[in-house]
Chains A and B, each alone.
Chain A
């Protein structure tokens, strides 16, 4: 599997897939997509990179340990739930704001951060599993 072509194209493929996964994540509220799907796409991107170039480049590229990303995601998701605390509404109630940034109206919400949290959990956990198995194979 570790052909030259594959090895050369894998980093670009991976970057494109990660970019695509972010796109899927962000459009998830109004079109098919969302944190789960986006996360799985990104995880497969890293898995492909790992198969093509080995595990250590992936770990270097990720910089953080995948499980740390996962933990960050869970933390972010829980934190976005606690935001409702300051407005006296029940845990995880969605809160919306629409500030204008550089002339574009951006809908920001706690729900968005929750979905980003889901994304990170899925990316982290699945990548961690895939990398762990790939590493074993090379021992």
Chain B
């Protein structure tokens, strides 16, 4: 493809991050109206991707990228087919509306700029996730969505519930992300592919690989946690602690669908096996039932919607797992429909909360006069959610039933699951859309009236789109449904379903669903009470399990820390030196590398004398009873070392050592007058024996090590280099000094910097006085 378009796509991927950077400054200037400016970014991205619709509908794919880490053959690459493009459009399109809606919803919030920044960051991450081609970028963006989700859920960080929800979401989806990373690595090992586009072509290699099951389990670990499949569903309802725009955007329309995206994306490579067609429908179906039942139980508008989101994600996973062409079509249609109606309903719930001050459905009623536009949007969305014609949800539900329709026992089971789930979903949809608006007016904490244009524009636009897309189903299928279904199935599929009635088994099932739904809606209060009673009887859920796990972890780590870090210096030191002694002795004994025991060395008497002086000095330091002895004997061993250096042909070292020892004795004497040296070390006998043993083991170990080293052949090429070139190149006759100031000048530069820093640190230590709290609180200037 043309490089101009390539760089434009790259720009579209980077744009949200740039907008996130600009958001706080814009918000400072324009307040909530910054939304209008910031929405240009997602709108531009939407238009850019919409421009690709025609190409993709023609069956082509769009890919591009830049080399990132060439040595590892890792590219920053993207790849757009029907699936990616639909997601990209949903993300940028709904994103545009959400940015506007946030401006209205959080109007006057002191941290609105930060909020915009986070949500645009998330948008960039999600955008990158769905168009990523290379595994690495996929993983990076995947984790980035988890992190931005954490930031957004914990946006109201002063409340404990928010913090808990944020941490819970991060732990669950973050662990899933690691599982995904492992899965991607296994796929890489199994197929040798590092890009999704390559993997899709290598489906057979993957399915027949011995690592197939391992890869499947690991990848599904990522997908199921992200898409809140049972039993990982618990984090999603808790994430409703986030401001409503976040719930509408991340936790219904986009981020939670990342898991579904991954499953759909991998369907051509992983699908069609027994494992795939068992695991996905079972988990998806369970999630659907659990989600809807838990949704009935709730009275909070957002929680009701959250649990139906869990249920909807279940349907999507279930259908993708069944894998027939019709099932894929159903999944695709449902995914689009769900993003439209659920995004709307969340925003409606937010508007109701914002305007009336409560989200409890039992405390709301009769708002239709006060908020007619919101009511219209809610109604449109609820009809779509309930699967009634002529809405996009209807098309999706028809296609789902067409895929299932009691083909055999296995599909029959899921048909029942789907009917029950859809019926309950209809109940919730109407409960959210009708209860607050119909009936007699109920007094609410705030006097409710219609919100600003920023608030109702988003929901109304999305809800209308749910209607229009169904009426113009031909166009929608041509540009969106068919290319996406083809990408998911891995073969060409044309979607045909329209709102024109067509008497068949799916329609009958639809009618059944609606009737069942209406019956339950009639008896909603009893149903709620029944489920509440059931849950109370069970008394435990994964949500409480999460708390117990976290507390357990804290207790265990506290216990371990208490043992390892006792706070006693001697213990730390003893352990350290025992480890050093082991490190010295173990390799030498295990590998038989102990040095040959030499004969008694034959040295001239003056060398023995120097050695003896050093040994005596050392002994005297240990036995020193008072300060003066200690200082003097420390000096003795130091001067003995200086003498040794002199005897062994190192005059420079010898001088330096002499000077340093002199200065050491001087400053030690100066400091010691202020310090106490105990007459003797009060160590109990057993402690003393242990210390002596450790010290002896270390000393002997080092002695043997040096002996061994000196018995090995010596490579003197480096030393010879310095000797040979010291005068010839560096014009210096003192080789040691030439090494210091010329050959290794950079090292010396670093070392004198250390000396200077030490000097500064000492100066600071002496000058800085901790102000005594009571006695002399005033610091002398």
Contacts and interface: CB of A to CB of B under 8 A. Distances in A.
Is B one of A's binding partners?
yes
Contacts of B733: 29-31
Interface string A114-125: 110110011011
A44 B762 contact: no
Contact of B756 (A24, A37, A71): A71
Interface string B718-760: 0000000000001111101110111001101100110110111
Interface in A16-63: 24, 28-37, 40-41, 43-44, 47, 51
Given A34-B741, A121-B756, A96 B749 contact: no
Given A32-B652, A74-B753, A94-B742, A129 B674 contact: no
B651 A32 contact: yes
B655 interface: yes
Contact of B740 (A36, A73, A74): A36
A24 B753 CA distance: 22
B755 A125 contact: yes
Contacts of A71: 756
Contacts of B756: 67, 70-71, 73-74, 121, 124-125
B564 interface: no
Nearest to B756: A70
A137 interface: yes
Contacts of A36: 656, 740
A125 B763 CA distance: 9
Contact of B663 (A47, A115, A134): A47
A96 B742 CA distance: 12
A137 B673 contact: yes
B766 to A, nearest CB: 5
Contacts of A78: 749
Contact of B741 (A51, A111, A121): A111
**Chain A interface size, under 10 / 10 to 19 / 20 to 34 / 35 or more:** 35 or more
A133 B652 CA distance: 28
Contact of A40 (B651, B660, B749, B759): B660
A67 B752 contact: no
Contact of B730 (A66, A94, A126): A94
A32 B759 CA distance: 26
A97 to B, nearest CB: 11
B670 A133 contact: yes
B749 A33 contact: no
Contacts of B671: 133
B732 A30 contact: yes
B659 interface: yes
B666 interface: yes
Given A37-B659, A40-B660, A74-B752, A126 B759 contact: yes
A70 to B, nearest CB: 5
A128 B731 contact: no
A34 B740 contact: yes
B746 A118 contact: no
A35 B741 contact: yes
Contact of A121 (B667, B673, B674, B755): B755
B662 interface: yes
A53 B670 CA distance: 15
Given A29-B733, A35-B741, A111-B742, A117 B752 contact: yes
Contacts of A91: 746
A83 B656 CA distance: 29
B92 to A, nearest CB: 50
Interface in B398-450: none
Contacts of A2: none
A130 interface: yes
B766 A136 contact: yes
B667 A130 contact: yes
B652 A37 contact: yes
Contact of A43 (B663, B734, B749): B663
Interface in B563-600: none
Contact of A29 (B738, B749, B759): B738
A89 interface: no
Nearest to A139: B674
A107 interface: yes
A109 interface: yes
Given A73-B752, A96-B731, A122-B752, A130 B738 contact: no
A106 interface: no
Contacts of B763: 67, 128-129, 132
Nearest to A41: B659
Contacts of A117: 752
A132 B768 CA distance: 13
A33 B759 contact: no
Contacts of B652: 32-34, 37
Interface in A66-84: 66-67, 70-71, 73-74, 77-78, 81
Contacts of A133: 667, 670-671, 766
Given A32-B652, A73-B752, A129 B734 contact: no
A33 B734 contact: yes
A130 B663 CA distance: 8
A31 B663 contact: no
B731 A40 contact: no
Contacts of A51: 666
Contacts of A30: 732-734
A77 B753 CA distance: 10
A129 B759 contact: yes
A33 B745 contact: no
Given A67-B759, A111-B741, A129 B667 contact: yes
B734 A32 contact: yes
B670 A134 contact: yes
Contact of A77 (B659, B663, B752, B766): B752
Contact of B762 (A29, A37, A74, A128): A128
Contacts of A77: 748-749, 752
Contacts of A66: 759
Contacts of A32: 651-652, 655, 734
A73 B748 CA distance: 12
A92 interface: yes
Contacts of A128: 759, 762-763
Interface in B664-680: 666-667, 670-671, 673-674
Contacts of B662: 44
Contact of B746 (A37, A74, A92, A107): A92
A71 B737 CA distance: 22
A40 B674 CA distance: 25
Given A77-B749, A78-B749, A126 B663 contact: yes
Counting chain A CB atoms within 10 Å of each CB, the highest count among B663, B671, B746 belongs to B663
A91 B748 CA distance: 13
Interface in B126-177: none
B578 to A, nearest CB: 34
B752 A29 contact: no
A125 B732 contact: no
Nearest to A28: B737
Interface in B620-634: none
Contacts of A94: 730-731, 742, 745
Nearest to A65: B763
A91 B760 CA distance: 26
Nearest to B760: A67
Nearest to A37: B655
Nearest to B663: A44
Given A34-B737, A40-B663, A51-B666, 20 more contacts: A32-B655, A36-B656, A37-B652, A40-B659, A40-B660, A44-B666, A47-B663, A70-B759, A74-B749, A74-B753, A77-B748, A78-B749, A81-B746, A81-B749, A94-B742, A115-B737, A118-B752, A122-B755, A125-B758, A126-B755
Please name the 4 residue pairs, one residue from A and one from B, whose CB atoms are nearest each other, closest first. Answer: A125-B759, A40-B659, A30-B733, A32-B651
9 contacts: A30-B733, A91-B746, A92-B749, A111-B730, A115-B737, A121-B752, A124-B756, A125-B758, A134-B670
Interface of B: 651-652, 655-656, 659-660, 662-663, 666-667, 670-671, 673-674, 730-734, 736-738, 740-742, 745-746, 748-749, 752-753, 755-756, 758-760, 762-763, 766
